Structure formats: C-alpha cells, structure tokens
Structure 1
Amino acid sequence: MSYFTTSDGAEIYYTDQGSGQPIVLSHGWPLSSDAWQVEIKRFTDAGYRVIAHDRRGHGRSSKVIDGHDMTTFAKNLSELIEHLDLHNIVVIGHSTGGGEVVRYAAQFGKGRVAKVVTAGAVPPIMLKSESNPEGTPIEALDDIRANVLKDRSQFWNELSVPFYGANRPGQDVSEGLKQDFWRQGMLVGLAAAYDCVKAFSETDQTEDLKAIDVPMFIAHGDADQIVPIAAAAQKSIKLVKDATLKVYPGASHGIWGAYQDELDQDILDFIKK
C-alpha cells in the first residue's frame, strides 16, 4: 500500500501498477479507487502504467475535515502526479472524478496531460438554475445531504439502485455490485460525504472546459439518473476545443456490465489515436 502526503497534510492512498504511458484514474463520489479495479487490470494488461488514488476523505485516505472542494481535489492530484513525476498522462475521471480531472487538466496539468477522458462527469455545472434548467434542483441535493447525516448506511443502500439503474426494467444488477457500492460508501468520512455534494453540484467548470487544450473523450449514458446528460456531457462537448462525445444507449451512471466493456475499449482506442 502506497501513501503520499499533500502540502496541507492529507495522506492520500494510491495504487501504481504496470509500466508504459501513465493513465491516472479519478473515482466518483462516494467511492474509492476500488471502483476502478477492472480498468486497472485491463489497462495494465494493455501495456500502460495505471495510477488510481482515493480522494481525500474517501477510501483509505485520511478523513480530513476540510478541503472537500474541486480546486483542492485537483491540487492534491497535481501534487501526487508531481511526486510520481508523471508526464504524457491520460487522465480519466468518473462523475465527481470527471470534475477533478477537468480542473486538474485546465489549471494544474499544462505540459503533463496528453489526453482527458470523462464518464458521467459533473461539468460544466450540475445545479439547476435559470441558466441551467436541465440541472438538478437544489432541493434534491439538500435531500442527499440530509440523508447522509441521518443514516448514511441506509442511504448508500438506496442510492446504489439508481446509480446502477437497477430500478429500470431488464437491468440485471447483482446484489454484489450494490453491496460493493455500500462498502465503498461506508469508507468515506462524513465531512467528505457531506461537503462533496456542494463540490460536485455547485462548481462551475465552464472556464475549465474552455481551457482544455488537448484531445478529450466525453462518455455519458443516456439513462444516467444521477448526473443529467443534458446538463453535463451535452453542454461540455460545446465548450472543449477538441472533444468527442459518445452517448451510450441505456447506460447508467455507474460503470458496469456491457457499458463497462464498451467504454473501456473505447478509452483504449482513444488513447492509441
């Protein structure tokens, strides 16, 4: 097990496997680097060096009380990448991790990042407003915060259902997959779980997307019940200079099953271009 200490004293757990061009993976909320286990194997088998970390407050990283905002997440990622002296990097982020890698690439990663990939990512901004009517209402986000405080264990159980689309007809989501979501959720510190809601929903990353000057692949399921595609991928594609958008029919927010198989191959194909 490897740990790195950030400039503000947070201990960040990470795994570093394989050799070759580096791929850096950033997980979604409330998960950990364990969410990327399949990708770690597939990408290392394909000849890449793969690094995945647990965001501050999540997984095996220290349960710090503060710094649960998109800029601090990206700065921590930058410090880890500098610690490992990585160059020509492909950064990949899911959900909140998509916001993290977009901010990293735009504000911290110039000269190090070769390509950016996001899946079900939160940029440009998730919160519903007059200028973003497709977004998520603040009342729904407040409900998330209330449930995290009230009974987070039960909430993770319930959230796993729409996360993986298990409430849709014909979706064979295993109990094991939902239980693993619960397991990873229970490892996140309460402060991080609560504060990240504001970070992933209210951070406006419009300018970050405009600043990305490397090729970007944007993936999103059209059955995503967590991050509305109309407020996210369909707007992001209009802001990035050199981007490709692929919409996966019937795919959920969570990456699993046939969606995972197709997405992983698409990522490998995109890297090789």
Structure 2
Amino acid sequence: MNFVTTKDGANIFYKDWGPRDAQPIVFHHGWPLSADDWDTQMLFFLGKGYRVIAHDRRGHGRSSQTADGHEMDTYAADVAALTDALDLKNAVHIGHSTGGGEVARYVARAKPGRVAKAVLVSAVPPIMLKTPANPGGLPLEVFDGFRAALAANRAQFFIDVPAGPFYGFNRPGAKVSQGLIDRWWLQGMMGAANAHYECIKAFSETDFTEDLKKIDVPVLVMHGTDDQVVPYADSAPLSAKLLKHGTLKSYDGYPHGMLSTHADVINPDLLAFVKG
C-alpha cells in the first residue's frame, strides 16, 4: 500500500492510478469515509486517460489513527505533504462535503503551479454553523446531536446516516441501495472514533470565507437542492459568490450523496469542467 509520512509522523494512505504523465485529479472524501468513496469517479476518469489520486484523511480509512490534528489546517497540510511527495502539477482537486472544505483550505494555500482547477461537491463551505454572521446556518445543537449519537453507538449511527438523509433514502419513492449503505458503514468503521468525533467540529465550525476569497483558479460548485446534510441555501450559492472564478451548478432534488446516487449525471459534468 502507498503511504506518505507527514511532519508529525502520521502515515497518510493514498491510491495513485493511471499514467504518471497525465493530468492528475485528486479526490478528497467526506466524513467519516475514505478514498474508497471515490471509486466510481476514479474508474471513470481513469478510463478517460487521467491520473487519479485519492487519500484517506488522517484518522480515516487506512491512514494513521492519530491523537491530534483533526482540524482543517492539519488536513490541508497533509494534502500539501501528499502533493509535494508526488510532485503534482496542474492538478484538479475535487472535494465532497468535508473534503470540499479541505480542498478550499488547501487550494487557498497551495504552491504556485500545483493546482489548475477545483470542484466543491455538496461541500461544507463557507460555514455550516449558525452564527451572527451566518444566520442561515445550522444550530450547534445539531452537531452536538451528531457527537452524542457517535459516542453512544457509532456502529448504529453509521447505519442510520446512509440509510436516511445522506443518500436521500428516507424520501418517498427513493430507490434504496443496500450496497451503498453497507459501503458507507464499512468505510466509517475502518476509521478512528476520536478522529470522527473531532472532525464534526472541523466540518461544522470552520469558516472558509477567507479561503474562498483567496482562490485564483476556476472552481465549480456542485450541489443538490435536496441535500439534507449540508443544506443548499447556506452553502453552494454563498460559496460561488465568494469565489473569484466560481461557477454554480445546482441539481434539483439531488441528495448529499449524489456522487453515488447520480454518478451517471455528475461524472460527465465533472469531466466537462476538467476539460473545459
């Protein structure tokens, strides 16, 4: 297996498929998942001739279960360590949910020449938490509920989330995929409970406003209007406005996990942006 070691000694697992001289596409997963959540997109882009890379965030998947570092600055530093180790140039960074926050923080600080474009999919920026400056956000009690459910019975919580709001399987007439639910659970249970617990604060309370303003490359913001995890109105439209070169693409009625439930639509749209 492939690992890169960070300055504080964490081993970050990554997949790296495709021609080494092809344009790299780097995928950043959501909470509490792993690089495996991107398999459909990685196979799609691999078939189009791209080099595809995805890592497990620290405390997630096969990466080190560290005692600390479960916040956005360290997540972004870990990505920088990976891109430096692989010497990636002109890369496209695509982040889902929490991974979208990681992309925003990394791309805003990336070395010149490292990043060509970025995509935020169902992503947490600008900020999820309700604050005086963000009155449309979710109250802290929502995230306290996540923490309580995780601490009480993580295994059951990691069934309830994908079986319900994540993929929209709680909606009338939804076509439920047990395979997606099981895959979500498996990825989640591979990771560390402490990392997942602390990451809730990272994805809900981090303010990415200044990161978004700093980004100079083109950014595609993709979001479903029926996202029950990261509500549409307080995320995608606001992020697109803050970006210098942002494009908003909305998907009517799509859920948070639309990369899996609607890959047949999302993947070609990603490709068009990457090629455009």
Whether TM exceeds 0.5 here: the answer is yes
Aligned partner (choices 37, 41, 45) of residue 47 of structure 2: 45
Aligned partner (choices 218, 227, 230) of residue 227 of structure 1: 230
What's the Cα RMSD here? 1.0
In structure 1, what is the equivalent of residue 89 of structure 2?
87
In structure 2, what is the equivalent of residue 148 of structure 1?
150
Name the TM-score, length of structure 1 as normaliser. Answer: 0.98
In structure 2, what is the equivalent of residue 70 of structure 1?
72
- Distance apart, 1:258 and its partner CA: 5.6
Larger mean Cα displacement after TM superposition, 111-120 or 251-260? 251-260
In structure 2, what is the equivalent of residue 110 of structure 1?
112
Aligned partner (choices 186, 191, 195) of residue 192 of structure 1: 195
In structure 1, what is the equivalent of residue 4 of structure 2?
4
Aligned partner (choices 237, 246, 268) of residue 265 of structure 1: 268
Pair 1:14-2:10 in alignment? no
**Do the aligned partners of residues 107 and 257 (structure 1) sit closer, same or farther apart at CA in structure 2, a change above 3 Å counting?**
closer
In structure 2, what is the equivalent of residue 255 of structure 1?
258
- Can you list the C-alpha shifts for 1:97-140, whole angstroms capped at 9, x where unaligned? 00001110001343210000010000110001222122111001
- Can you list the C-alpha shifts for 1:7-35, whole angstroms capped at 9, x where unaligned? 11101110000121000000000000000
1:122 partner amino acid: V
2:10 partner amino acid: A
SS of 2:39's partner is helix
2:15 partner amino acid: T
Residues of 1 paired with 2:176 and 2:133: CA distance? 35
SS of 1:124's partner is coil
Residues of 2 paired with 1:69 and 1:260: CA distance? 29
- Check whether the contact 1:23–1:90 (CA below 8 A) recurs between aligned residues: yes
Residues of 1 paired with 2:152 and 2:67: CA distance? 18
Aligned partner (choices 232, 240, 243) of residue 240 of structure 1: 243
Residues of 1 paired with 2:11 and 2:258: CA distance? 27
Sequence identity (%): 54
Residues of 1 paired with 2:46 and 2:126: CA distance? 30
SS of 1:237's partner is helix
SS of 2:242's partner is coil
Residues of 2 paired with 1:259 and 1:206: CA distance? 29
Residues of 2 paired with 1:65 and 1:195: CA distance? 10
In structure 1, what is the equivalent of residue 182 of structure 2?
179
- Can you list the C-alpha shifts for 1:137-185, whole angstroms capped at 9, x where unaligned? 1001001011111100000111111100001112102111111111111
Residues of 2 paired with 1:109 and 1:183: CA distance? 35
- Distance apart, 1:203 and its partner CA: 0.5
Residues of 1 paired with 2:261 and 2:209: CA distance? 31
Query: What is the number of equivalent residue pairs in this alignment?
Result: 273
| Structure 1 gap ranges (5+) | none
- Check whether the contact 1:218–1:245 (CA below 8 A) recurs between aligned residues: yes
1:27 partner amino acid: H
In structure 2, what is the equivalent of residue 36 of structure 1?
38
**Do the aligned partners of residues 144 and 258 (structure 1) sit closer, same or farther apart at CA in structure 2, a change above 3 Å counting?**
closer
Residues of 2 paired with 1:258 and 1:225: CA distance? 14
Moved over 2 A (4+): 108-111, 255-259
1:15 partner amino acid: K
| Structure 2 gap ranges (5+) | none
SS of 2:199's partner is helix
- Can you list the C-alpha shifts for 1:177-209, whole angstroms capped at 9, x where unaligned? 111111111111011100000100111110000
